[in-house]
């Protein structure tokens, strides 16, 4: 049986996208456990909690939550290879009994209404589905780029029966991290680890992630 490093390397070899080249296991800017832990301060899940990692990719945050807090975690993604990788990694890490990975879009996760205590996501989510699956009093933690002209966290709250509990602008942190990943990609290209085409892909993807504010937001479902 492959170990975690070997299984992740297989994923990278088969999926050399800009996301995986830039961010590795966690796939999106800000989708790392340091940022996640800041958003969970004071509302950490317990062993009885049910958590959804929406658009989970290979399930890095889902497996971390299950391992650290002992909670039951669901993760959904439309990428069948990503879900297969997430399941393999959960078995390798010994958390397969607490992790449930589903091939499903963000707008229809297949989970029951009012069944989830906490939803976490990075960039990709469907707010109607988030609200549907959350229990009253449940929370939604999001790390994402809010583009200019997009709905604000407060506007999202007022239209969906939520209240904003935490709102932090992490744009400077996000852009510093993004710049470092671009420089890393240039080093990899010069060392012939990645191709010229992959470098261009990374740079274009980085440009796409500018033009707004990177926010860490936590909402609570009020009813």
- Give the domain ranges of the chain: 4-221
190 pLDDT band, cuts 50/70/90, is very high
221 pLDDT higher than 70: yes
Q: How far is CA 218 from the centre of its chain?
A: 14
The secondary element (H helix, E strand) that includes residue 91 is helix 80-93
Say if residue 68 is exposed, middle or buried (CB neighbours under 10 Å; 0-12, 13-18, 19+). Answer: middle
pTM: 0.87
Rounded CA separation 166/61 (Å): 19
66 pLDDT higher than 90: yes
**Phi and psi based region of residue 180 (left: phi greater than 0; alpha: psi -120 to 50; beta: remaining):** alpha
The architecture CATH gives domain 4-221: 3-Layer(aba) Sandwich (3.40)
Supply the pLDDT for residue 23. 52
**Phi and psi based region of residue 169 (left: phi greater than 0; alpha: psi -120 to 50; beta: remaining):** beta
Q: Are 122 and 144 in contact (CB under 8 A)?
A: yes
73 pLDDT higher than 60: yes
Name the residue with higher pLDDT: 176 or 209: 176
Q: What angle do CA 142, 47, 134 make, to 5 degrees?
A: 40
Supply the pLDDT for residue 24. 56
Rounded CA separation 177/111 (Å): 34
Supply the pLDDT for residue 17. 60
Rounded CA separation 181/27 (Å): 12
């Amino acid at each position: 049986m492959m170990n975690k490093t070997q299984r992740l390397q297989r994923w990278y070899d088969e999926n050399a996208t800009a996301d995986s080249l830039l961010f590795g296991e966690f796939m999106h800017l800000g989708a790392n456990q340091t940022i996640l832990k800041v958003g969970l301060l004071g509302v950490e899940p317990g062993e009885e909690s049910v958590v959804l990692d929406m658009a989970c990719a290979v399930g890095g945050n889902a497996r971390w939550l299950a391992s650290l807090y002992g909670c039951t975690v669901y993760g959904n993604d439309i990428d069948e290879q990503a879900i297969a990788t997430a399941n393999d990694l959960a078995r390798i890490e010994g958390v397969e009994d607490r992790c449930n990975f589903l091939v499903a879009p963000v707008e229809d996760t297949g989970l029951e209404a009012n069944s989830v205590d906490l939803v976490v996501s990075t960039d990709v989510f469907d707010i109607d589905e988030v609200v549907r699956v959350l229990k009253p009093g449940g929370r939604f933690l999001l790390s994402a780029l809010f583009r200019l002209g997009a709905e604000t966290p407060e506007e999202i709250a007022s239209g969906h029966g939520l209240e904003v509990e935490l709102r932090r602008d992490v744009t400077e942190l996000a852009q510093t991290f993004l710049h470092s990943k671009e420089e890393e990609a240039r080093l990899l290209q010069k060392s012939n680890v990645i191709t010229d085409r992959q470098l261009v892909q990374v740079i274009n993807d980085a440009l796409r992630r500018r033009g707004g504010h990177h926010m860490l937001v936590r909402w609570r479902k009020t009813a």
